Amino acid sequence: MSEMSMETVYTALAEGIDRHGPEKSDMFLAKVCLLLAEELGNAERSLELIEAAQMNMKEMRQPAG
């Protein structure tokens, strides 16, 4: 995916999160992820990507030191 396409997808996700507010943003993101996983059609790869996202979140939460 090109950088421009990635930015467009990011913008659409951010707007969706904003549109549904903090009380429904988790549900919105879960639905998007399930739809993308279904489109991918590969449960094993979907699980690998979920794990990659979890690892990235752990790295982001490390305190600056």
- Quick one: pLDDT band at residue 65, thresholds 50, 70, 90? low
What is the value of pTM for the model shown?
Answer: 0.75
Q: Which amino acid is at 16?
A: G
Looking at every residue in the chain, the average pLDDT score rounds to: 90
How far from each other are the two terminal CA atoms of the chain, in whole angstroms? 34
* Residue 61, both tokens: 């939460």
How is the chain split into domains, by residue range? 3-60
